[in-house]
Structures are given as C-alpha cells and as structure tokens.
C-alpha cells in the first residue's frame, strides 16, 4: 500500500486538510509575487482571464461529468443556478459592507476611496475563499481524484486572490507584519471552511453530495464570470484578443491536466474507485443505471 493509498483510503480529515493546504499554496505564491513585483503589477493583468479559464475548466471537465452520473439531469441547471445566485448575493452583501466600512467620519475623499477599495478587495477575497474551501471539502468526501483536481485548480485561482489583496495591502502602506498576519488569516480561513464542509458531509447525509458539488460548480462559474467582467472593464480594446487567448490557454491547460490525472493514477497502480466515498460509491450505481436507461 502506497502513502497515497494510506492517506486517502481512510477518508479522514487529514484528506481534506492535505488538499486545502495544497490549494493554500496559491495564497503564498500570490503574496510573494505581489511583493516582489509591487511596481509592475499591471504587467500580470492577463492572469485574470487565465484563472477564469481554469475555473471554467474545473466545472466543465471535473464537476459536470461527476454530477451528470449521480444527479438527475433536470436538477443540474437549478443547482448551478442556485450556486451562482449564492455567489452574487454574497458579493453584493460584501460590497455593501465594504462601502459602509469605508464611509466613516473624519476621512478625506482620497482616503475614503482607498479604504473602500481595500475593504472591498478584502471581503471579496473572503467570499471567494469561503466557496473554494467548501468546494474542496465536498470534493474530498466524494473522490480523491476529484479532490486533487479541484485543489490544484483552486491553487491557481488563489494566486490571483492573494495577489490582488496584497497589492491592496501595499497601496495602503500596511506594515509587513500586518500583511503576514492577514495572509495567515486567509490560509486558516480556507482550511477551516474545507474541514467544516468535509465534517458536515460525513456527520449528516452524504447522499446529496453530488448535488452540493453541482451547487459549488455554479458558485465557481459566477466567480469566474465576475473575474472576466472586472478584467474586461479595465483593458484596452486591442488587448481583448490576447485576453481571450489567455482564457483559452488556461482552460485547455487545466482540462488536459484534469483528464490526464486518471491516467497518471492508473499508470501508478492506484485505484481511483477505491478513493470514492463508500456511501457515495454505493448510491451512485442506481443513478448511473437510471441515467443510462
């Protein structure tokens, strides 16, 4: 039995913690990137469509096929719609909270504008990490292959989240120690949400797990769309073709990784079926037969 078999066969909390830690690597990379290239942040704006492509690939190549095999087809669009609506509602609430926090007395207009932008970035980062962490926890309870693919893709997305937030820290002239504490808080936030989702699935009923995953698929689609729209508002018309190409490159690159992950596990002699959640593994068979029939 390999180390991977030992870690994932138990479906314990260490399983979800390992995957959320993998996704948290993107937070560290994004923070270091922003600090090392603080004066040249705009050169990496193409990271935004690339990350959007990765998020779309996550849904199209990993979550969608899994949901189609285990959830009624008529229900999938509504689950995606519910997840996207949840993301929009959370982002709207976050924007109002950020603006309310920035509008405090005894501040100049410039200072209030900077505080508003900084607060908005902070709450948006928390909203994204909330969805990312819970999606990792749910995916980890379903299948190790699915969890690895999701955690790897969200690690790329977290580079963008951390980079944008660190840029806000630098523009606000926050002390280095405060920036480190804030990054540690983001790291803990992602891991806590992941473990909470994993524990919730195991503590109650995991038969609705594919539905939860489809819900978070809609959440990821809304997050990717928001990233694309915010990027499109800040670029020149001549760069739209380049942004589209970067989006496609991000989509194709991660899609190939996700598709090849099964082949790599098979070549290494690791059984993918043995990683699936026992309850989900048994309940998936009738749904698969019903879907094919």
Domain boundaries, position 90:
16-37+45-292
2, part of any domain: no
The answer to whether the beta carbons of residues 56 and 217 sit under 8 Å apart is no
Q: What are phi and psi of 245, to 5 degrees?
A: -65, -40
Beta-carbon neighbour count of residue 255 at 10 Å?
Answer: 19
**DSSP calls for 178-216:** HHHHHHHHHHHHHHHHHHHHHHHHHHS-GGGHHHHHHHH
Confidence of residue 180 (pLDDT cuts 50, 70, 90): confident
5, part of any domain: no
For residue 145, pLDDT over 90 is answered with no
CB-based contacts of 130: which residues, under 8 Å, 6+ apart? 90, 189, 193
85, part of any domain: yes
Total number of domains constituting the chain: 1
Confidence of residue 270 (pLDDT cuts 50, 70, 90): low
95, part of any domain: yes
Of 276, 267, 279, 278, whose CA–CA distance to 2 is shortest? 267
11, part of any domain: no
For residue 53, pLDDT over 90 is answered with yes
pLDDT digits 0-9 by tens, 119-144: 677 778 888 899 999 999 888 888 77
112, part of any domain: yes
Tell me the average pLDDT of the chain.
Answer: 77
Mean pLDDT of 210-235: 83
250, part of any domain: yes
10, part of any domain: no
- Per the structure block, which two tokens stand in for 280? 């989900």
Which of 55-69, 204-218, 248-262 is least confident?
204-218
| Model pLDDT, residue 84 | 93
Which of 29-38, 72-81, 160-169 has the largest mean confidence?
72-81
Beta-carbon neighbour count of residue 68 at 10 Å?
Answer: 16
The answer to whether the beta carbons of residues 53 and 219 sit under 8 Å apart is no
pLDDT digits 0-9 by tens, 100-111: 765 665 555 555
């Amino acid at each position: 039995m390999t180390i991977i078999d030992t870690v994932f066969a138990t479906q314990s909390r260490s399983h979800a913690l390992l995957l959320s830690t993998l996704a948290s690597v993107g937070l560290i990379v994004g923070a270091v990137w922003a600090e090392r290239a603080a004066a040249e942040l705009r050169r990496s704006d193409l990271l935004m469509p690339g990350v959007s492509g990765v998020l779309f690939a996550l849904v199209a190549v990993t979550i969608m096929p899994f949901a189609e095999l285990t959830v009624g087809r008529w229900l999938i669009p509504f689950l995606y719609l519910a997840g996207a609506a949840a993301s929009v509602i959370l982002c709207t609430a976050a924007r109002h909270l950020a603006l309310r926090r920035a509008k405090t007395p005894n501040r100049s207009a410039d200072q209030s504008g900077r505080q508003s932008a900084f607060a908005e970035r902070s709450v948006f980062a928390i909203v994204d990490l909330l969805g990312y962490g819970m999606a990792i926890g749910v995916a980890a309870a379903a299948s190790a292959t699915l969890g690895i693919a999701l955690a790897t893709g969200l690690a790329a997305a977290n580079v963008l989240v951390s980079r944008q937030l660190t840029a806000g820290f630098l523009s606000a002239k926050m002390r280095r120690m405060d920036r480190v504490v804030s990054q540690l808080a983001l790291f803990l936030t992602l891991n806590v949400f992941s473990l909470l989702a994993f524990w919730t699935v195991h503590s109650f009923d995991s038969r609705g797990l594919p539905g939860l995953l489809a819900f978070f698929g809609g959440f990821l689609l809304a997050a990717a769309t928001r990233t694309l729209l915010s990027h499109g508002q800040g670029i020149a018309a001549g760069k739209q073709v380049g942004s589209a190409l970067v989006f496609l490159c991000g989509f194709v690159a991660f899609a190939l990784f996700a598709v090849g992950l099964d082949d790599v596990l098979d070549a290494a002699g690791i059984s993918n079926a043995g990683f699936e959640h026992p309850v989900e593994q048994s309940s998936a068979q009738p749904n698969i037969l019903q879907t094919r029939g």
